[in-house]
Amino acid sequence: QVQLLESGGGSVQAGGSMRLSCAASGDDYNSAYCLAWFRQAPGKEREGVAAIDMDGSTRYIGSVKGRFTISRDNAKNTLYLEMSSLQPEDTAMYYCAAGAGVYRDGGLDIGSERDYGYWGQGTQVTVSA
């Protein structure tokens, strides 16, 4: 089993910053897992935001490049998402996920929901204009 627990969500004004954390635990968890952040806004499908593999390779969707940074501390079994220059369109429930990793054209890809077998409960991020 793998348990993922997100924290750090809340409300912030546009242009502000926020850091999300995700603590991983469980007998089946190890640092070889690829970790990712997904988000889901009301009425929209869940989308992958960023992913990081065990070697530290990262991948982002275009709308967050240069504003969000994904990182992990394998010693602490913790995943992070540093978010800056937040905009109202970043408002969503943010989920962390663990999976085997998706690679295309020799590089890490975020993949889709079906590529991740373990999920946290989510943490809400609300950005006001």
Name the band, by pLDDT with cuts 50, 70 and 90, for residue 16: very high
**pLDDT digit string (tens) for 25-66?**
998 998 889 999 999 999 999 999 999 999 999 999 999 999
The predicted structure's pLDDT at residue 4:
98
Query: Does position 124 have pLDDT exceeding 90, yes or no?
Result: yes
* 110 pLDDT higher than 90: yes
For residue 106, pLDDT over 90 is answered with: no
Among 124, 112, 99, which Cα is nearest to 20's?
124
| Structure-block tokens of residue 68 | 């969000």
Q: Facing residues of 60 across strands? A: 50
pLDDT score of 32: 87
Instruction: Let me know: does 7 contact 21? Beta carbons within 8 Å.
Output: yes
